[in-house]
Amino acid sequence: MKVTLFATCLVDMFQGEVGKAVVEVLERLGCDIDFPENQICCGQPAYNSGYVQDSKNAMKKMITAFEHAQYVVSPSGSCAYMFKEYPEVFKGDPIWEPKAQALAAKTYEFTEFIVDILQIEDVGAHLEGKATFHTSCHMTRLLGVKEAPMKLLGNVKGLQYVELPGKDRCCGFGGTFSVKMGNISGEMVNEKVQNVEETEADILIGADAGCLINIGGRIERQGKPIKVMHIAEVLNCR
């Protein structure tokens, strides 16, 4: 099966190991991975800030970059959902709306692709530890991916799972929200870290780089002994 990786800006610039883990897991599951080097930002920061027209050029570049793909897989529910927004952005455009619809239809979040398309719930991962999972807002509320991560984590040998209190609450990142509303964002991530501490987990797992960078940064600044891992890294443990 041919899979085209949509790495996302944050993975490309800050979390390269997450991208590598995604590739290694999917290759072990029999996928042939393709990486378009002309992929750029999906346009989400500008789009969410209200600059819809300005974001269209980036969107068109992404549509073109992934036009050849059979399946597009991303380690970020937030960015994967942005591709789902493209048809609405280009609604009524005779050239770009059909292309946007085609891209949206073949785009999947990483865990969603493994469980729903590959029909695999146990990837043979093994990680000793006590872990909790942060459910990111875009992935669960907009993309609708809720069960896939839990099914995969439930089959990781040696991993003890503890549910995170207030798991449905935003961590405070929210893309440009964390920049525009820094004080509010700071309080939100403080609450999230407190909830993680309540679980007494050794590992915080998530499926969206933005959330993990935000929460992980606060954990590090507070000197908490909690390891932060993307779910792709967990599933890549042997």
- The pLDDT tens digits for 71-88 are 999 999 999 999 999 999
Q: Are residues 127 and 172 in the same domain?
A: yes
* C-alpha distances out from residue 115 to 7, 123, 148, Å: 19, 10, 6
Boundary (domain end) residue, out of 56, 81, 116: 116
- Sheet arrangement for strand 32-34: 32-34, 2-5, 71-74, 107-109
Looking up residue 139, the CATH number of its domain turns out to be 3.40.50
Boundary (domain end) residue, out of 100, 116, 132: 116
Q: Are residues 154 and 169 in the same domain?
A: yes
* C-alpha distances out from residue 76 to 22, 81, 162, Å: 11, 9, 22
Give tens-digit pLDDT for 170-205.
Answer: 988 777 777 676 788 789 999 999 999 999 999 999
For range 114-123, the mean pLDDT: 98
- Mark 118-154 as b/e (b = at least 16 C-beta within 10 Å): bebeebebebebebbbbbbbbbbebbebeebbbebbe
Q: Are residues 86 and 181 in the same domain?
A: no
Which structural domain range is residue 50 located in? Answer: 2-116
Q: What are phi and psi of 150, to 5 degrees?
A: -70, -35
Q: What is the pLDDT of residue 209?
A: 87
- The reported pTM is 0.94
- Alpha-carbon distance of 118 to 108, in angstroms, equals 11
Q: Which residue has the higher pLDDT, 10 or 180?
A: 10
Q: Are residues 134 and 160 in the same domain?
A: yes
